Amino acid sequence: MFTLPETRFDFAGDEYIYAEISREMGLASNFKALAITNELRKRNIPGLIDICPANASYLVRFNPEIISSQDLLDYLIEIDITKSNVAELNLSTRIVEIPTWYDDPITRSYSERFASRHQHPGLSDFDFVMKCNGFTDKAAFIQAHSSTPYFITMVGYIPGTSWEFPLGTTNEEILQAPKYLSPRSKTPNRAIGLGGAFNAIYPVDSPGSYQLIGMSAVPVYDKERRYPELCDYVLAKPGDIWRHRPIDEAEYWQIVADVEKGTYTYRTRDVEFSPKEYLLRGKAYIALLMEGF
């Protein structure tokens, strides 16, 4: 019923194989990339050093003194064939709540600071995103953004950066915005940005070009590893489903204080995600999956 893209494999130097499932971002391609890379980890192939899934591709690094490039390619082709059936792509994953302070003064101050690099210097990033998506009412925009769950398609760029793609939306419903004309030299830690159809939470203070729409009250990166939900220092795992819960200023600062004291507990729920059911039922399947969360 669903035809998944055929993967193209390329050797990259002596230690890498790059697998391109699609040149365009699509959830079906991402589901396949995650299923393949998860299977690779399970097999524990000798000589395989690193596995890096991306939006519609993945990269593997290997030790050519332990496994030849051709032998590894044979493994990849075999796995690729088994994961070309959408019914074989099921994921054991989790839903994660991100308490979000929308249209906050912190990100507004960055809008003002870097207005000269923006398409519309007279608007804050938040107001610009509203305008791009046809909203005139702030509450309606926040409802649209926070009621949409987001699928973590990949983690990277800056360690811990989460790439969130909307689930259960039609193309007409997807919230989108262009990036800055010229990147900011600084973006605050935990700022939530929108670029194209993707959300990203900045894990540390860093340059950036996504339009800033709010602040996460919880960290997505913690070098001190104080929280069990942050595996290998980062919160995001490819395949996670994140939901932004709107909060006000008082709750934001209370959560920040709890985080600093080490008493905050992330709200999560383990779920089984079926790409086949999602591709068949879309929004109805996501509503069932998210029920009660």
Give per-residue pLDDT as tens, 120-163. 999 999 999 999 999 999 999 999 999 999 999 999 888 889 99
* Predicted TM-score of the model (pTM): 0.92
Which tokens is 177 given? Answer: 């915005």
Tell me, yes or no, if the two domains 8-88 and 92-290 fold the same way. Answer: no
Of 157, 155, 212, 217, nearest to 184 by C-alpha is: 212
Which tokens is 66 given? Answer: 């332990």
Calculate mean pLDDT across residues 271-292: 93
Q: What is the DSSP string of the chain?
A: --PPPPPEEEEETTTEEEEES-SS--HHHHHHHHHHHHHHHHHT-TTEEEEEE-SSEEEEEE-TTTS-HHHHHHHHHHHHHHTTSGGG--EEEEEEEEEEEET-HHHHHHHHHTGGGSS-TTS-HHHHHHHHTT---HHHHHHHHHTS-EEEEEE-SSTT-EEEEE-S--TTT---BPPPSS-EEEE-TTEEEEEBTEEEE-SSSEEE-SEEEEEESS-SB-TT---TTSBTTBS--TT-EEEEEE--HHHHHHHHHHHHHT-----EEEEEE-HHHHHHHTHHHHHHHHTT-
* pLDDT cut 90: percent of the chain above it: 79
**Euclidean distance between CA atoms 214 and 107, whole angstroms:** 6
Calculate mean pLDDT across residues 255-281: 93
pLDDT at residue number 203:
94
Residue range 92-290 in CATH 2.40.100.10: yes
pLDDT at residue number 202:
96
Residue type at 94 in one-letter notation: R
**Euclidean distance between CA atoms 141 and 59, whole angstroms:** 37
pLDDT at residue number 228:
79
Q: Between vectors from CA 264 to CA 148 and to CA 219, what angle results, nearest 5°?
A: 60
Q: What are the contacts of 106-111 at 24+ separation with CB within 8 A?
A: 106/188, 106/191, 106/215, 107/188, 107/191, 107/192, 107/212, 107/213, 107/214, 107/215, 110/184, 110/186, 110/187, 110/188, 110/191, 110/212, 111/212
The CATH architecture to which 8-88 belongs is: 2-Layer Sandwich (3.30)
pLDDT at residue number 157:
81
pLDDT at residue number 229:
80
Q: Domain limits of the chain?
A: 8-88, 92-290
pLDDT at residue number 218:
96
* pLDDT cut 70: percent of the chain above it: 99
Calculate mean pLDDT across residues 5-27: 89
Lowest mean per-residue pLDDT among 156-165, 172-181, 198-207: 156-165
Residue 5: is its pLDDT beyond 80? no
pLDDT at residue number 3:
63
The radius of gyration computed from the CA coordinates of the chain, to the nearest angstrom, equals 20
Instruction: Find the farthest-apart pair of alpha carbons in the chain and give their distance in angstroms, rounded.
Output: 61
Calculate mean pLDDT across residues 257-283: 93
pLDDT digits (tens, 9 = 90+) for 36-75: 999 999 998 999 999 999 999 999 999 999 999 999 999 9
Question: Do the Cβ atoms of 26 and 35 come closer than 8 Å?
Answer: no
Confidence category of residue 1, pLDDT binned at 50, 70, 90: low
pLDDT at residue number 232:
75
Calculate mean pLDDT across residues 63-90: 90
Number of Cα atoms under 13 Å in the Cβ half of residue 44: 1
Report which listed range, 168-172, 224-228, 284-288, is most confident. 284-288
For the chain, the average pLDDT equals 93
Residue 28: is its pLDDT beyond 90? no
pLDDT at residue number 119:
93
Which tokens is 269 given? Answer: 């729920």
Calculate mean pLDDT across residues 1-23: 86
pLDDT at residue number 2:
61
Residue 164: is its pLDDT beyond 70? yes
Calculate mean pLDDT across residues 220-240: 85
